[in-house]
Structure 1
Amino acid sequence: MNQQECLNIQDLYVQYGDKKVLNGLNITLHRGEMLGVLGANGCGKSSLLKTILGSIQPSKGILNLFGTPIQQMNPKKIAQTIAYIPQHSSLSMSLRVEDLLYMGRYPHKSNLWASHNEKDHQKVYEVAKLLNVWEMRHQNTQTLSGGELQRTLLARALISEPQILLLDEPTSALDLRYAIEILEICEHLVKDMHLAMLIVIHDLNLASLFCGQGVLMRDGKVFVQGKMSEILTTQNIQAVYGLESEVIRHSNRHIIVPKKGNKFQSMAS
């Protein structure tokens, strides 16, 4: 059965002044797919997310959302279709968990001052129970652990009823237990709700464990895209990260083991 194409990016260019940060990028994302985007720092991963969200305007290229150019869609329609979870999960203001969750309903309201209706209340309750944050609803968000806050942010995103989830390094501030928990939740959401998920992630082993499809970026473009089990090779890791490694295959998964050497001695001297 063919998967529905949710996001199609063709020949995308983005510049900051004279510097090209996306240089002819091509990516497709399908419903029911968890696509891991990997690459060295500065390769354009975060710029890709910002371009999809509309905060950066491309200088050239096609970016279609369910077959419609995203530039032709109003911000409210985009917000109803795409939910974004940022890398930095700290909140500068003091909020109750419940208040943060209800922010997920804003894309569906006629205006920001409109009262919440029964559907809003039901959706907040259903998602909060699903992600095990309902019991924390009266807590201040600043008292939450990193894993609790990340689950709350994920719940807020789902409450907006998106078809696509964009995640920017959702496990970067989490220990291994909470990182696994968040990615297991994401994996179930993609399968059970048939969502499309694009996740920027640095940890190659976690990407191998959870992402069925992957993109390795280099110099603002796709170096290789395909099944994660096929693109994580010693040759590709060397080409993208400049790192010698061993890839151990186990139960259709990969364990990437970097090799020690004197290649980086000059950086420590």
Structure 2
Amino acid sequence: MEVKNVSFSYNQKEDQLKSINLAVEPGKITTIIGPNGCGKSTLLEVMSSHNAPQKGQIILDGKLIQQYKSKELAKKLSVVHQKNEIPFDINVENLVSYGRMPYKRFFHHHNSEEDEEVIDWALSITNLQSKRKEKVEQLSGGERQRVWIAMALAQKTPILFLDEPTTYLDVYYQFEILELIKKLNREYNITIVMVLHDMNQAIRYSDWIIVMKNGEIVTEGSPKEVITEGMIESIYGVRAIVNHNDQSGFYVVPMGVARRNDNAT
């Protein structure tokens, strides 16, 4: 996927995205970070064709994204949104089966043998086999997030977008979800693009990091290239120590507010 000179605005008065250029490398985990309100989720929405850019182009496999029919695009790209509404009284297996809709003909809603195999695979890879008949609304937050990921996996797409997949989860479930995402990438070669807030999680689980501020991409590169003390102070207004010790690892320790950051909310 390529994003070329893309600008987008909700109200046509102020651009939420300003001349965005980026390329998503196949088979890698790309993470978008930046202060609240900088355009991270908006960029993901535009890249997934949820919103159309006012300017620029988004190209997927050599074709403009708006030229894809909805079912055709849903076979190439799946999305796990930050907030999801659970259909009333639905169980895990039935919700995951919604991911097979792009492969069904109109008025044919029963699952084929292939559909059932894919649903079983999605439940297995997300460790939900024992929960398949349980109501989604009765699950824990981490289990619910795995259900939404399983539904996206049932689409069998080579690209998966995740908008803040660890939001509202405690630390245990955050790492459970991130380890699952890493497994999907490493073992199944699914290209991942996700939005994260936690810089140390971005360091640990990303091949490539894109840093945004005020609707623009400020810098991008490998975690070691991008995550620097100067970047953190410039983008977030926070003093931090970036540790590169071979024994203790690569991580960020926030030390305090350096100055007011008017772009964070």
Query: SS of the residue aligned with 1:244?
Result: strand
Gaps of 5+ in 1: 1-6, 265-269
Q: Alpha carbons of 1:235 and 1:145: their partners in 2 closer, same or farther (altered >3 Å)?
A: same
Task: Give me the whole-angstrom Cα distance separating, in 2, the residues matched to 1:9 and 1:71.
Answer: 13
Task: Give me the whole-angstrom Cα distance separating, in 1, the residues matched to 2:258 and 2:190.
Answer: 44
Query: SS of the residue aligned with 2:24?
Result: strand
Matched, 1:68 2:63: yes
TM-score, normalising length: structure 1: 0.91
Task: Give me the whole-angstrom Cα distance separating, in 1, the residues matched to 2:107 and 2:220.
Answer: 40
Matched, 1:150 2:131: no
Task: Give me the whole-angstrom Cα distance separating, in 2, the residues matched to 1:159 and 1:262.
Answer: 45
Query: SS of the residue aligned with 2:256?
Result: coil
Letter in 1 for 2:99: G
Matched, 1:184 2:184: no
Matched, 1:23 2:14: no
TM-score, normalising length: structure 2: 0.93
Partner of 2:256: 260
Q: Alpha carbons of 1:112 and 1:104: their partners in 2 closer, same or farther (altered >3 Å)?
A: farther
Query: What's the % identity of the aligned pairs?
Result: 29
Give the superposition deviation at 1:53.
Answer: 2.1
Query: SS of the residue aligned with 1:256?
Result: strand
Q: Alpha carbons of 1:22 and 1:15: their partners in 2 closer, same or farther (altered >3 Å)?
A: same
Gaps of 5+ in 2: 261-265
The two structures, once aligned, show a CA RMSD in angstroms of 1.6
Task: Give me the whole-angstrom Cα distance separating, in 2, the residues matched to 1:143 and 1:90.
Answer: 13
Runs of 4+ in 1 over 6 A off after TM superposition: none
Matched, 1:10 2:4: yes
Task: Give me the whole-angstrom Cα distance separating, in 2, the residues matched to 1:197 and 1:132.
Answer: 19
Give the superposition deviation at 1:261.
Answer: 4.9
Give the superposition deviation at 1:244.
Answer: 1.6
Give the superposition deviation at 1:218.
Answer: 1.2
Task: Give me the whole-angstrom Cα distance separating, in 1, the residues matched to 2:104 and 2:27.
Answer: 27
**Contact 1:106/1:112 (<8 A) preserved:** no
| CA distances 1:157-215 after superposition (whole Å, capped 9, x unpaired) | 11110111000000011111111111111111111111111000000011111111100
Partner of 1:132: 127
Q: Alpha carbons of 1:118 and 1:92: their partners in 2 closer, same or farther (altered >3 Å)?
A: closer
Partner of 1:171: 166
Q: Alpha carbons of 1:226 and 1:19: their partners in 2 closer, same or farther (altered >3 Å)?
A: same
Task: Give me the whole-angstrom Cα distance separating, in 2, the residues matched to 1:145 and 1:250.
Answer: 37
Partner of 2:263: none
Q: Which of 214, 218, 221 is the matching residue for 2:213?
A: 218
Query: SS of the residue aligned with 2:90?
Result: coil
